[in-house]
Amino acid sequence: NAGVTQTPKFQVLKTGQSMTLQCAQDMNHNSMYWYRQDPGMGLRLIYYSASEGTTDKGEVPNGYNVSRLNKREFSLRLESAAPSQTSVYFCASSYRGETDTQYFGPGTRLTVL
Amino acid sequence: GNSVTQMEGPVTLSEEAFLTINCTYTATGYPSLFWYVQYPGEGLQLLLKATKADDKGSNKGFEATYRKETTSFHLEKGSVQVSDSAVYFCALSDSRNTPLVFGKGTRLSVIA
């Protein structure tokens, strides 16, 4: 039972490049989330998916797109990376999304030069 | 909107000292409250939670009581260890099925 997995673990991009962060969970959870973590800012929600086939914007969605590919997978895409997107990105999942525990992946550390 | 405020860090304690990390919240309705912990280089993991007023969550020697009258959920531990060094996040989940709202985190360093 792997829980929540994220790839890659580290990535360096140049300004304007694109990339997709992958996330998968094997816990049969309905809800999945993408957060970014910056020093002194805590975790901020980028996008979430309450169930397969639905996605919603969070607090900081600009510059990102998401795809809920199936129940297991939820990807985050940066179409044109900017230095302000340098951050650590965490994917999380939960069974129902309301009061249930969120389980987090190990994170992707992204640097945009 | 919903928000969580937790004490600024970093907090540095000697081993076996008493720990309190303050957390207060603003929310409509009756939120569930959580403490998550992030060890160096890892993702967050749930430490404890409470889903209604006066509930006490506890795990690994940590405790927090849901106080509706003071809108607080302070984290406490009677005797910290070096292995407790981590960043601690307070969070809430609104009963209207919205995602977690996190505080900014408090870094704890415990020295031997």
Neighbours of A31 (CB within 10 A): 24
Residue A41 has pLDDT above 70, yes or no: yes
- For residue B28, the model assigns a pLDDT of 81
Cis peptide before A39 (omega within 30 of 0): no
Residue B97 has pLDDT above 70, yes or no: no
- For residue B96, the model assigns a pLDDT of 56
When pLDDT is averaged across residues B23-34 and rounded to a whole number, the result is 90
Amino acid at A97: G
Highest mean pLDDT among B4-13, B38-47, B77-86: B77-86
Percent of chain B predicted with pLDDT > 90: 77
Which candidate from B32, B43, B103 shows the least CB-CB separation from A42?
A: B103
Tell me which residue of B71, B98, B65, B78 sits closest to B13, measured CA to CA. B78
Residue A101 has pLDDT above 60, yes or no: yes
Residue B7 has pLDDT above 70, yes or no: yes
| HSE value, Cβ hemisphere, 13 Å, CA-based, for A1 | 4
Put simply, whether B106 touches A (Cβ < 8 Å) is no
Structure tokens at B27: 């929310």
| CA A55 – CA B92 distance, rounded (Å) | 21
Which candidate from A33, A48, A99 shows the least CB-CB separation from B51?
A: A99
Which candidate from B49, B89, B95 shows the least CB-CB separation from A43?
A: B89
In B, residues 7-46, which contact A (CB 8 Å cutoff)? Answer: 32, 34, 42-46
| CA A85 – CA B15 distance, rounded (Å) | 38
Q: What is the pLDDT of residues B53-82, one digit of tens each?
A: 999 999 999 999 999 999 999 999 999 999
Put simply, whether B100 touches A (Cβ < 8 Å) is yes
When pLDDT is averaged across residues A41-58 and rounded to a whole number, the result is 91
- For residue B2, the model assigns a pLDDT of 87
* pLDDT band at A42; cut points 50, 70, 90: confident
